[in-house]
A = this chain, B = another copy of it.
Amino acid sequence: MPDNGENAAFIRKIYDRALTDGRCYPWLEHLSLKVGHRLSGSAGAEKAVNWAKATLDTLGLDSVWLQPVMVPRWERGDAEQVTVKGSKKYGDLRLNALALGGSVGTGQKGISGEVVEVNSWEELDKLNERGIRGKIVFYNRPMDPTRIRTFEAYGGAVDQRVVGASRAAKYGAVGVLVRSMGLAIDDFPHTGSLRYDSTYTLIPAAAISTLAAEKLSALLAEEGKTTVFMKMGCRTLPDVLSYNVIGEIRGAEHPEQVILVGGHLDSWDVGHGAHDDGAGCTQSMDVLRLLKSLGYRPRHTLRCVLFMNEENGLRGGRAYAEEADKKGEFHLVAIESDAGGFTPRGFHFDGDDAVIGRLFDAVKPYEALLAPYGLQFARGGSGADISPLKGQKGLLTGYLPDSQRYFDVHHTAADTFDKVNKRELELGAASMAALVYLLDAAGFGR
């Protein structure tokens, strides 16, 4: 591979190009403002697929294609109503809410129930059927603000959203409210997917804003018995055909070995899906364009994959890995950007236990070349869409932007284009391109 002087010089070129002639920002503007949000199976998702394919087609790559995948289709329906009824302090109080993705609706008449606040699974189990039957369970365990990495705070609270409905249904609850997965106290509800356990009745579940959660919790403390009315028109329709969007530059030496860079094209059905994950998609597209525009001829095949359905099914990621396995394609490296378009901090490296130690040792020496750009390397989780590739025993890599602001917008109506800073986005694209370049040139293999 080239010596470190050549590597440093080429990395400098990548950053220079990204910061003076980047495309990810105008692409993200288009995806955010002209396409908009794009939940799997929606018209927005179809529009996004067409736009991404057409845009990749302009880049002069060796091939661009759509990979079919059947995806779930969940619709929010009419705006949710979640209302505290007849409180002493406020009378009726509407709480800002979003149905959780995948939730059943309430029917036209809605449901009512006394609210039980629950802050731990132990509390839930202790309340048991006697305390829960016929009621609405309100999960109010906050994300831990003292975690420096906000993803750890998210990981410590999101179980309430994912499995809370069925665990409450087990004890006879009629509905579930979940405190939004956010660290700021504000009035944006954060949606996100739930997972039902079909052993129990499927009950409706909604996220309420952190501000609404604080108010509801205070009401319960001040007034005791509190009733909430929920009405949600959401429903699940039959699966529909959608696509992963893929573009590649064939490798000159090892075309059968792939270095993948990607994000997910679907988003939740509010806001623009700008940080989650329009940023990762447009950065990944720009990685290929940047390297191509600099005349770089890769040794391995460089592939940009825009996965469909990360948010509520991971069908795109699974279908991609299945086909790759079937074709015997080896993914030397897969890099995912799905943590927002914020200022770069580094990369996390993951992989099968049998290989990750060796692979990380092989990668770690390159950290010094990226340190001037504010990047650090560490072992850690990579990304959902690329996780089904783990069995191939290649290197899985997560791009790590700064995480402090991510959960202010994640899965909310506030995840809009204006929240993305141009330079921060461009620096992310450059960082990913620089890593792709280094790993392609190094080419540590199976």
* A residues with CB within 8 A of B: 15-16, 19-20, 145-146, 148, 150, 183-184, 343, 345, 372-374, 402, 404-405, 408, 421-424, 427
- Chain B min CB distance to A313 (Å): 31
Q: Are A183 and B423 touching (Cβ within 8 A)?
A: yes
Q: A404-B343, A404-B421 are in contact. Are A146 and B427 (CB under 8 A)?
A: no
Contacts of A402 in B (CB 8 A): 343, 402
Contacts of A183 in B (CB 8 A): 423
Q: A374-B345, A402-B402, A408-B421 are in contact. Are A16 and B146 (CB under 8 A)?
A: yes
Q: Are B19 and A146 touching (Cβ within 8 A)?
A: yes
15 other A-B residue contacts (CB within 8 Å) besides A145-B423, A148-B372, A408-B421: A15-B148, A19-B145, A19-B146, A20-B145, A148-B373, A148-B427, A150-B423, A184-B422, A343-B343, A343-B402, A404-B421, A404-B423, A404-B424, A405-B423, A405-B424
Contacts of A345 in B (CB 8 A): 374
- Chain B min CB distance to A273 (Å): 21
The contact sample of 28 A-B pairs, CB cut-off 8 A, is: A15-B146, A15-B148, A16-B146, A19-B145, A19-B146, A20-B145, A20-B146, A145-B423, A148-B372, A148-B373, A148-B374, A148-B427, A150-B423, A183-B423, A184-B422, A343-B343, A343-B402, A343-B404, A345-B374, A402-B402, A404-B421, A404-B423, A404-B424, A404-B427, A405-B421, A405-B423, A405-B424, A408-B421
- Chain B min CB distance to A25 (Å): 11
- Total copies of the chain: 2
Contacts of A405 in B (CB 8 A): 421, 423-424
- Chain B min CB distance to A45 (Å): 31
What CA separation (Å) do A220 and B20 show in the bound complex? 23
Contacts of A373 in B (CB 8 A): 148
- Chain B min CB distance to A157 (Å): 15
- Chain B min CB distance to A52 (Å): 26
- Chain B min CB distance to A341 (Å): 11
What CA separation (Å) do A422 and B423 show in the bound complex? 21
Contacts of A150 in B (CB 8 A): 423
Across the interface, name the chain B residue whose C-beta is closest to A342.
Answer: B343
What CA separation (Å) do A183 and B408 show in the bound complex? 25
Contacts of A374 in B (CB 8 A): 148, 345
- Chain B min CB distance to A26 (Å): 12
Across the interface, name the chain B residue whose C-beta is closest to A185.
Answer: B422
Contacts of A421 in B (CB 8 A): 404-405, 408
What CA separation (Å) do A428 and B148 show in the bound complex? 12
Across the interface, name the chain B residue whose C-beta is closest to A405.
Answer: B421
Contacts of A15 in B (CB 8 A): 146, 148
What CA separation (Å) do A69 and B109 show in the bound complex? 70
What CA separation (Å) do A183 and B183 show in the bound complex? 30
Across the interface, name the chain B residue whose C-beta is closest to A403.
Answer: B343
- Chain B min CB distance to A8 (Å): 13
What CA separation (Å) do A16 and B147 show in the bound complex? 8
Contacts of A422 in B (CB 8 A): 184
Across the interface, name the chain B residue whose C-beta is closest to A150.
Answer: B423
Across the interface, name the chain B residue whose C-beta is closest to A407.
Answer: B423
Contacts of A148 in B (CB 8 A): 15, 372-374, 427
Across the interface, name the chain B residue whose C-beta is closest to A16.
Answer: B146
- Chain B min CB distance to A432 (Å): 15
What CA separation (Å) do A404 and B423 show in the bound complex? 7
Chain B CB within 10 Å — which of A183, A405, A424 has the most?
Answer: A405
Contacts of A19 in B (CB 8 A): 145-146
Across the interface, name the chain B residue whose C-beta is closest to A425.
Answer: B404
Across the interface, name the chain B residue whose C-beta is closest to A12.
Answer: B146
What CA separation (Å) do A145 and B408 show in the bound complex? 28
Contacts of A146 in B (CB 8 A): 15-16, 19-20
Contacts of A424 in B (CB 8 A): 404-405
What CA separation (Å) do A422 and B183 show in the bound complex? 10
Contacts of A16 in B (CB 8 A): 146
What CA separation (Å) do A145 and B184 show in the bound complex? 32
What CA separation (Å) do A183 and B20 show in the bound complex? 11
Contacts of A404 in B (CB 8 A): 343, 421, 423-424, 427
Contacts of A184 in B (CB 8 A): 422
What CA separation (Å) do A20 and B20 show in the bound complex? 40
